[in-house]
Chain A
Amino acid sequence: MGIRADQAVRWLFPLPALAFVVVMMLFPIVYTAWLSLHEWSMSAVTPPRLVGLRNYATLLGADPRFWMAVWRTIYFTGLALVVETVLGVAIALLLNRDFPGKNLVKTLVLLPMIATPVAIGMVWLLFYEPTIGLANYVLGLFHLPPQPWLASERGALPSLALVDIWQWTPMVALIVLAGLASLPADPFEAAQVDGATPLQVLWHVTLPLLRPTIGVAVILRAIDALKTFDIIYAMTQGGPNYASETLNLYAYTLGFSYFRMGMASALLEIFFALVLGVVVLLNRARRGVLM
């Protein structure tokens, strides 16, 4: 027996949430698109002036800072994503075995991802401090030369990626761990009957079965890594000399330091398209693997 669909619940229940999303999200996206076709400095008294696609042309054609930011965003995300996926899967496999205190360990590795990013950034700032920081002290113990870490143009972005890796590898590990728990038993029994070694089981059975789960973890991480703001802004503010200026940081600077709202809006539209494109691409890759 089925009860007739309650139209009031069906349509009225989601209405407030939907209205809120439209006002707070869709409207800004449309407004940003409109603003991106204008030149407007918020500090000035003059109203926005229509300039067509000039902001886009400037960014794409005449702004090396923009292209550097695109490259850094992709570099930061790619670096963090690869390391987090490999380490996350390895840690999940490590924690998948039964051992005393397993649940406690799972709880504790959760802490980096729920701790306040700005507070995390402050501790890593102390680690990376060139003269008093622990990072260089540890290098010294191994007779390695001290590094400038965040203070150098070459080191800043990888140093920030390391913080992201520390913070978000647990997320990949926990998702993969949940995926491991839901795997069917049959393929493993079959492999055992066939006399496969543990390594063969891992490579030919476990990892292929895990692919969809790993795919989801990668997509979730990609979305957030592309948009990383807190850690970068709190630790380097895009410096030194723009060396860690990703698209997010550049948009922020254009909008809230230079008050070039039209330019910032054009950049945001491109940024949005980039994130969307990466998500669609990754999703397609994941589906392809599945089929």
Chain B
Amino acid sequence: MSRGRLRTLVSVLHGLGVAVVLAVFLFPFAWMVMSSFKTQVQITATPPQWIWQPTLENYVEVLQAQRFGTYIWNSFVVAAGSTLAGFVLGLPAAYAIARYRQHGLGMVILVARIVPGITFLVPWYIFFSKLKLVDTYTALILSHLLVVMPFIVWVMIAFFEAIPTEVIEAAMVDGCTEAGAFWRVVLPISGPGLVTSGILAFIFSWNNFMFSVILTGARTKTLPVAIFNFLSYSEINWGALMAAAVIITLPVVILGLVTQRYIVRGLTAGAVKG
């Protein structure tokens, strides 16, 4: 075989490999969307139907009968609330850790990633019950904050360490305090870091199930808990279940697609430095 032909063959095989990888990782999403536009009869048909008349009936049912608007709002409030609180607590901490190399402090905060979440859940449940905080946004935001804040710190330490010290020193020579320099100089140039950590924090909170399933009640039920409750029907309404799954997944997927460059950087931050 000639060299040129070999090269073409390798390219074709490579393209095929990439296509297989994409198909495997995207197919469940495709199936979720397709099934959400099918009737129960169409979903349960064997062989599976690839061409059919799409119906909106599942979405109508989910959005009307299941108080989905409330669940979406609850999820949004908790995710936005814990992300904001995560910034307020996490940004100054990350800055101080990065600038003064207080890795010990950093480790204390990062232990939260190693401890199984359920370890907190028993004491939290007891205390939130005593304080009558179960089924309030406060309890949910506080619990999600423990996931979100260390993550923000983790990502932001890497970003703050990359900022040259001269930038901060110049601002301080001009008469800023260090806190002032942090607020007026460091934060404004950390835009990409804030986007990265903020979006991932929002997504982590949005996806959270374990804390929410215990700490929510009728008033503050979030989307993952609501979709899980769908299952308890005697016969599963697959179409509605898939429509609900699409509704939960859509915001995360859109966020992810729009900001993918940042996300890859955030998820792999610190990992490569080893």
* A contact residues vs B (CB 8 Å cutoff): 1-3, 5-6, 8-14, 16-18, 20-21, 24-25, 27-29, 31-32, 35, 42, 91, 94-95, 97, 99, 103, 105-120, 122-127, 131-132, 134, 137, 166, 170-171, 174-175, 178-179, 182, 212-213, 215-217, 220, 223, 226-227, 229-230, 233-234, 247-248, 251-252, 255-256, 261, 264-265, 268, 271-272, 275-276, 279
Report if B28 contacts A (CB, 8 A): yes
Given that A17-B93, A107-B257, A227-B117 are known contacts, is A119 also in contact with B142, CB under 8 Å in the complex? no
Say yes or no: B118 contacts A251, CB within 8 Å. yes
Instruction: Give the number of chain B interface residues (Cβ < 8 Å).
Output: 100
Alpha-carbon distance A123/B43, docked complex (angstroms): 12
Report if B111 contacts A (CB, 8 A): yes
Option from B150, B209, B263 in Cβ contact (under 8 Å) with A118? B209
> Majority SS of interface residues in chain B?
helix
CB-CB < 8 A to A182: which residues of B?
272
Task: Give the number of residue pairs across the A-B interface with Cβ within 8 Å.
Answer: 286
- Chain B, residues 33-49, CB within 8 Å of chain A (1/0): the string is 00100000001111110
Say yes or no: B206 contacts A137, CB within 8 Å. no
Q: Which of B52-60, B65-73, B97-105 contacts A (4 or more CB under 8 A)?
A: B97-105
Given that A6-B179, A255-B122, A256-B214 are known contacts, is A29 also in contact with B89, CB under 8 Å in the complex? no
Say yes or no: A126 contacts B31, CB within 8 Å. yes
Q: List 15 A-B contacts (CB under 8 A).
A: A3-B168, A8-B178, A12-B92, A18-B93, A91-B21, A94-B21, A109-B25, A118-B209, A118-B224, A132-B46, A174-B267, A174-B268, A179-B271, A233-B209, A271-B116
Say yes or no: B21 contacts A116, CB within 8 Å. no
Say yes or no: B263 contacts A110, CB within 8 Å. yes
Say yes or no: B206 contacts A21, CB within 8 Å. no
Q: Which 9 A-B pairs have CB atoms at the shortest separation, nearest pair first? A: A6-B178, A17-B93, A13-B92, A13-B96, A119-B245, A28-B123, A107-B260, A212-B274, A14-B93
Alpha-carbon distance A244/B47, docked complex (angstroms): 30
Given that A14-B97, A114-B203, A126-B31 are known contacts, is A223 also in contact with B114, CB under 8 Å in the complex? yes
CB-CB < 8 A to A112: which residues of B?
25, 28
